[in-house]
Amino acid sequence: MSREDFRRDLRDAFESISGPSSPSLSARVHGALLDAHGRPGPMWLAGAAVAVVAVMLVGILFVAGPLSHRQIVPPVPGASPTPSPSPSPSAVVVTLGPFTCGTDLAINGMQPSSQIVFVNGVRTGTHTGYDRITIQFQNGQPPTIEIRPQSNSTFTHGASGQTVVLQGAKGLSIIIHSADEHTVYTGATDFKTGYKGLVEARQVEDFEGTVQWALGLNGDGCYRAQFLSNPDRLVIDVQTN
């Protein structure tokens, strides 16, 4: 290959790589090629070497140029990945039975009849659609509970035989067998609640293993009752609507 052909090929290669990146660099390389033209021996080789280095430099700049212009998107201040919602724990739902009206009810517990259970808490409360009395036991469920509705609020006070009249138009008697309410329990024995359905609750017996509570009611006197655990307790709901 002649010197003229080499210079032409080198110039074409340089221009195809450099393009419009650096006009001044292109001019310097062209000048070096022209200065080398006509110079014999080592000077021509020096010019050719300068041209080759320039071509390599432009190639590196050409490759690195697009990479150096990559767009970097800054993070949005305060932004954070949205965590996946944790599954909600399943709520423990206690299903109570239906209300009954004017019907006697017997509830059997889990204790043998020879074991006395101790009442350690009595409380009342009102809720949407019903009022509640809760009788809580310290050492398990009593073997038997009897619930007897009545059309009035007049009761007999235990072994004394005295008559007790509670507030309300109707009544509900709760008889707890194999139970004791005087050893552990120190709370109230007469609750005048002012509720819509359960207006008064009064202890009328605690003698020889029998505990009895009398409830004075308004309305239809419909109720529901059952044992609940943790802690063991009897809940009685009086319907209010």
Contact, 147 vs 241, CB < 8 A?
Answer: no
Q: Which residues contact 94 (CB under 8 A, 6 or more apart)?
A: 228
Q: Which of 93, 21, 27 has the alpha carbon at shortest distance from 60? A: 21
Using an 8 Å Cβ cutoff, are 130 and 229 in contact?
Answer: no
Domains of the chain: 3-68 (no CATH), 105-239 (2.60.40.3500)
pLDDT tens, the chain, 241 aa long: 555 665 666 566 555 554 544 555 455 545 554 454 444 455 444 454 544 454 454 444 444 444 444 444 455 555 445 555 544 444 444 567 899 999 999 998 877 777 899 999 999 999 999 999 999 999 999 999 999 999 999 999 987 889 999 999 999 999 999 999 999 999 999 999 999 999 999 999 999 999 999 999 999 999 999 999 999 999 999 999 8
φ/ψ of 90, rounded to 5, equals -70, 130
Residue 23 to residues 19, 20, 55, 192, Cα–Cα distance (Å): 8, 6, 13, 102
Residue 239 φ then ψ, to 5°? -70, 140
Distance in angstroms (rounded) separating the CA atoms of residues 159 and 157? 7
